[in-house]
Amino acid sequence: MQGQNPVFIPGPTNIPDRLRYAMSVQTVDHRAPDFVDLLTPLHADLKKVFKTETGEVVTFPASGTGGWEAAITNTLSPGDKVLVARYGMFSHRWIDLCQRHGLDVEIIERPWGEGAPAELFHDRLAADRDRAIKAVLVTHNETATGVKSDVAAVRRAMDAAGHPALLYVDGVSSIASMDFRMDEWGVDLAVTGSQKGFMLATGMAIVGVSQKALEAMLSARLHRTYFDFRDMLTANARGGYPYTPPLQIMYGLRESLKMLFEEGLDNVFARHRRIAEGVRAAVRGWGLQLCAVRPELYSDTVSAVFTPAGFDSNRLTDHAYSAYDVSFGVGLGEMAGRAFRIGHLGAMTDVMALSGLATIEMAMKDLGYPIELGAGVAAAQDYYRSTKAIPQKEAA
């Protein structure tokens, strides 16, 4: 019975059988005239998830990192200055990506466990009299620390400074699981992937692009070929793709979007919030602390949990895997050895979450952690029993 246990990593996530079956299709001709019947509705429905009416959605065969490279290379030129805060492993990786592309990266260092510093962004942008800063980069959901940043606050800070910079947002572990409002928040480029909130295999990067970003594309001089928006948008407008598309994932995405809309996006977000609150109740029951330093920063898709002093979090996740065949997220960057991560996004229910909490609790007890066996699970059970589950038309 190998492979029966769910994973509790922050992605790739568990794939519902309905989506596995949808992706299990024979090859079809992507140059056939009816390919447009698959492609065009996908883009229209993705715009509903991004909550954009004015922007475009572009897809590439890639992971979320490919989506970020596409966002950067299509809208910026060598030497352009970008402003970004480093407060986790994934904000760090976007900094590295920009530096490798020859951009002038101005970094605001923040403690890991904090979020995007809207006030500091405002001050720096207000001081940029020459408007040298071309872009502000924000990681909406920092997967390494379980921190959700306030993108709307960053946009308000940019507007208050009267600055024309583009706003780029990494929504890889938030979009389709937590509320994301591209138009309302004034996001110019938003990046996600197929393997998290959309509950699919890795292999498709999805990028929301504002009209302002499309205008920036006309003068951008960073090199791109495979990730060229113009090639993709031109082909898409004719109902095609500039090269071979990931057809199986596209069929899965069509079904994933049906599932999300059947459940209702607001219900999807409420389900994630409720499951996350139960996980957080378990963490309190163990007497442990989250990496996120304040409740308003708590992520609804992943919880990063500090281990007690003297306990190696990597040993804990290794033991959970070897003893119980269940995967949890390891600590990344500054969190390595200090924290483990519980992914609770995508195809997840409260019952599934309880199984993960019980497993990591057993693993901690095996390794001599100062916890009471059952304390975390009981706290989560109390929370789930006292709150109403959101009805789902289709089992996740």
**pLDDT on residue 71:** 98
Lowest mean pLDDT among 136-140, 383-387, 388-392: 388-392
Token pair listed for 343: 């992914």
Do 257 and 332 fall within a single domain?
Answer: no
Do 209 and 297 fall within a single domain?
Answer: no
Task: Give the pLDDT band (50/70/90) at residue 236.
Answer: very high
Asked if residue 4 belongs to a domain, the reply is no
What is the dihedral sign for C-alpha 48, 50, 56, 58?
negative
**pLDDT on residue 36:** 94
Token pair listed for 212: 């302002």
**pLDDT on residue 393:** 53
Of 205, 233, 261, the last residue of a domain is 261
Do 299 and 248 fall within a single domain?
Answer: no
Do 42 and 66 fall within a single domain?
Answer: yes
Do 85 and 179 fall within a single domain?
Answer: yes
Q: What percentage of the chain carries pLDDT values higher than 90? A: 96
Do 47 and 152 fall within a single domain?
Answer: yes
> Across all residues in the chain, what is the average pLDDT?
96
Asked if residue 314 belongs to a domain, the reply is yes
Of 213, 246, 261, the last residue of a domain is 261
Do 271 and 255 fall within a single domain?
Answer: no
Q: Indicate if the pLDDT at residue 361 is higher than 60.
A: yes
Asked if residue 45 belongs to a domain, the reply is yes
Do 218 and 98 fall within a single domain?
Answer: yes
**pLDDT on residue 396:** 39
Average pLDDT over residues 315-321: 98
> Can you give the CATH number for the domain in which 300 is found?
3.90.1150.10
Do 344 and 295 fall within a single domain?
Answer: yes
Asked if residue 10 belongs to a domain, the reply is no
Q: Indicate if the pLDDT at residue 157 is higher than 90.
A: yes
Asked if residue 392 belongs to a domain, the reply is no
Distance CA 243, CA 61 (A): 10
Token pair listed for 43: 């883009």
pLDDT for 74-110, tens place per residue? 999 999 999 999 999 999 999 999 999 999 999 999 9
Q: What percentage of the chain carries pLDDT values higher than 70? A: 97
State which residues form the domain around 61: 17-261
